[in-house]
Structure 1
Amino acid sequence: MVLIVTTGFLILPVSGDSTSNTIQAASNVYVSNYTIDPAVLFTGDTATATFYVTNGNANQSVMVNHATFGDNDIQLTSGTYDTSSNIGPLQTRSFVFSIETDKNAGTYYPSFSLSFSAGNGMYYRTPVKVDNSPLVMAVADKPDAFTQGVKETISVQISNPRDNDIKNVIFEATGNDVTLTPSKTYIGYLASGTSTMVNFTVIPDTPTSLFMHVDYDNGDNPHTVNTTLPIPFTTDKQQADPVMSNIVVALNNGTYDVTGDLTNAGLSTANGVTVTSLSPAVPQDPDRNYVIGALKPDDFGSFEVTFKVPEGTTSVPMQQSYKDSDGNVITSVQNIDLTQATTQTASQSGMLPALAVVIIIVLGVGGYLYMKKRKNQ
C-alpha cells in the first residue's frame, strides 16, 4: 500500500507537466493558409473550403480531435472531423469542407475551429464573399443591314466583371431559318476583369432572331446568361446598286433583242455583274446572258440579251446579279415591257444585202468608166 501511494504521488507531477507541455505545444499550431473555391459565390452556390494547419513546434506532435467550419450564414454541407489525429513537428495538415449559402450579396465571416486533446482549441474567422454579378454579353459589331442569303459577320464580347475567375465558358447561337458558323464556341477560362471576343457568320433565309447563350461554371456551379438579336431584312446603305436604263426592245423573226445600260448607283463595287432573262423567256443565241464584269460606284456598262417567249407574252422579268466583297450573290429583277418592241420584218432584213450589192456594182461601174475616160485622154 505504501508503495502504491508513493508511486501515485510521483506520477501526478509528471502528468501535470505533460499536460502543460501539450498545451504549450498546441499554442504553436496556426492556420498557415486557406482557400475558398470558388473564391466568390452566387447566392445558392456551393464551395469547397480548405484550411492548412501547421504545427510550428519543432519537437512535439499535437493531437487534434475535432475540426469544423461555418455559421448561420455559411452552412456546412459536409461532415466535421471528429477522429483524433496527430500533426507532427513542423508538419502541415489540410482540413476540407463543403459549404453553401442562401444569403444575398455581401461578405460573411464564418469560423474555422480546431480542438486539441489537451482541452483547449483555436478559432479562425474567414471572409466569404457573395456576389450575384453575372458575365456580361454584348454585341460589339454587326452589319447595318441583313439581306436574304447574304453572309454577314457578328462579333460578341463576353466580359467577366466578377472578383473571381470563371471556367468552362461556352458561347452558343441558335435561330430559325438561319445558317450559323460556328454555332458554338468553347472559350474555357475567363479571368476576373477580362473579356474575350467571339466572331461568327450568319446567313439568314428569312427575317428571324438569334438567341445567344453563354454557359459557364463558378467553381462547380453552372450558370448562364442569354440575349436576343433581331435579324430584320433592310437595305444596306453601303452595298452596290445596279440600275437598268436606256432599255431598247427589238423583235426580229420571233426573237427579242433587249439592249440597255447598267449603272452602279451604290457605294460598293459590284463584281461579276450578269444580266439574263427569266421564265417565261427562253434564252437564245448569240446572247443568252450577258456578262458585264465589275462595276465600280457610278460606273456603267452596256448589255444585250436575246430570247423567245410564248405567244401572247407582254412582259419578261430581267434578272441582274452580282457578287459582293464576301462572294455573296445578290440578285434583283426588273420587268421589261415587250409591247413597246420595234419590229424588223424578214423582207426588210433581206433588202439590206441586196442594197449593198447594188451600191458595190454602181461604184465598180463608175470607177471603170472613170479610169477608161482618163486613159482615152
Structure 2
Amino acid sequence: MTDAAADLVERISAFIRETVIPYEGDARIGKHGPSDDLRIELQAKARAAGLLSPHVGREFGGHGLNHRQIAQAFRAAGYSLLGPVALNIMAPDEGNMAMLEKVASEAQKERFLRPLASGAVRSAFLMTEPDGGAGSDPSMMQTTAVQDGNHWVINGRKTFITGADGAGFGIIMARTETGATMFLADMGGDDIRIDRVLDTIDRTMPGGHAMMTLENVRVPADQILGEIGQGFKYAQVRLAPARLTHCMRWWGAAKRAHDTAVEYATHRMAFGKPLIDHEGVGFMLADNEIDLKQAELMIDWCAGVLDVHGHGAGTEESSFAKVAVSEALFRIADRCVQVLGGLGVTDDTPVHQIFRDIRAFRIYDGPSEVHRWSIAKRIKKRALAGA
C-alpha cells in the first residue's frame, strides 16, 4: 500500500460511517434496490469527497488502484450495503467499467465508460438466459446476432439481468457465426424490453434483476466490444476480477454484521453474565474472526495474482476465492443472526439484510458447485498430464 492508497482507504471508511450509514433507513431503498434518486444523491456526496469510482484510471476520474489496493478500498466501502452504490463500485457497473477499460476502443470509452465512471448513467451485463439458454453453461447461448449491412440485429431473451431497469446501456452477449460476441447497446427503447423485475432476497443493487426480451435490436458495427467471436474470452476478463470484487464488498458487510453481533453479545446479559462469556456464543464469534481473516487472506492472495500476471490471469484463483469466501461470509452472517436471536431477524440492525444478500452471493457469478466442478476438471487435467 502506498501512503496515498492507505489515506484513500481511511477516507472511504470515514465516509461510510459518517455519511452513508445514516441513509440505511431511507425509504427510497425498495425491494428492487436503492432508487436512482438515492443513488444520485449518494454519489454526489462521494464525488464531492473525491471518492467516486476509485478503481478506474485517473483519466476517468478514479485513483488508478491496483487489485490489492482495490481490495482494501472495497472492503472499507462494503461496511454499509449502500457503500458500493455510493462510491459507484457496485455490480454490474464496476465490472463493466473494468472490462471497458481493458477491451473497449478509445471512442467506446468516451461514449460509454466515461459517463458510467462519472455516475451519469448505470449499465447492465446481458448474458444469462432463461431455461434452455446460457447460464452456468454459456455454450448454451440462444441469443443471436446477425449482420445486416453496417449493423447487427440481435434477438433473444435474457434473465437475472442486474440493474437493467433504469440502465443507460447494456453489454449484450450474443451468438454469431464465428462465436459469442459482445455488443454495446443503448437501452430504454422498445427493442430491449423488461418483461418483469424479479422479487429476490437481496436489495442492494439499483434496478434489481430483470427478465428481458431483445427483439430486432440494431447495433452499429462500431459498437462491437472487442473482436467478433471473442465474447467468451472477454467474459473471463470481466468475470475473474468481478468474482473477487464481490468477495471484497461482501467481506465488508460481513465485518459489519460481526461487529454488530460482538457489540450485542458484550452488553446483553443472560444467566448472570454477558452473552459473549457463554461458550456457545463466544465460540461463534471466535469462528467469525477466523473466517474473516481467512477470507481476507484469500482475497489478497488472488488480488496479488491479478497484479502480477495481469487481467488475463486469475481464473482458477478467482474460483478458489469465490467458493471459499462466499461460504465463509455466509457462515459469519448466519452466526451473527443466531447471536442476536430475535433481534437478528428484524430490521432493527443491518444483520438480517446482510444475511439475505450474502446468501445470494453463493449463486452470483457462478454457484459454488460449478466452481468446484471447474476446479476438479483442472485437477484431473494436471493429473493426466503428469501421468
Q: Which of the pair is proportionally richer in helix?
A: 2
TM-score (norm 2): 0.18
Tell me the TM-score normalised to structure 1 length: 0.19
Structure richer in strand, relative to its length: 1
Please tell me whether Structure 1 or Structure 2 has the larger radius of gyration of its CA atoms.
1
Higher relative contact order (CA 8 A, sep 6+): 2
